[in-house]
A = this chain, B = another copy of it.
Amino acid sequence: MDETISIVLFSGTDDKLMSAATLAAGAAALGKPVKIFLQYWGLNAFRAAGIDTDHGLAPEAGEVGKAAVDAAARAGMATWMQTLRMAKELGEVDIQACSASMDIFKLKQSDLDPLVDGVEGVAAFYINAGEGQIVFI
């Protein structure tokens, strides 16, 4: 039995980042190892220079959805980054940048937030995922 949860984090809007962080924190709280593999816009969101900025929402949010999310933030809901940091404190959460996406954006690991533990290729991703569940966000 392999309890690892692997998340391919492709999207980088605040709503999907929050969903990924929640799934990571829940798994960590249950003692499951969590592996996050950052691609494309998910990777972009972890640039050191912009991790705290507004990353927008999925287009389907609309004005009403955006207002609800903004109100929750003002009422003190943890951000995705705070949730992910908490997940890392709670359990085993490893965050790797996809090397192919690093090449597209011409990024070096030093350009990324320290929450990112390293850079790996897709083969390493699968090996680390083992037989555990994989979700693509």
Which of chain B's residues has its CB closest to A64's CB? Answer: B44
Given contact pairs A8-B135, A10-B16, A30-B123, A106 touches B68 in the complex (Cβ within 8 A): yes
Which A positions have Cβ atoms within 8 angstroms of B?
Answer: 1, 5, 8, 10-13, 15-16, 19, 22-23, 25-27, 29-30, 32, 39-41, 44, 55-56, 58-61, 65, 68-69, 72, 77, 98, 100, 103-106, 121-123, 125-127, 129, 131, 133-137
21 residue pairs bridging A and B, Cβ less than 8 Å apart: A5-B126, A10-B16, A10-B137, A12-B60, A15-B40, A15-B41, A23-B122, A26-B121, A27-B126, A29-B123, A40-B58, A41-B60, A55-B60, A68-B104, A69-B104, A72-B103, A129-B133, A133-B133, A134-B134, A135-B136, A136-B136
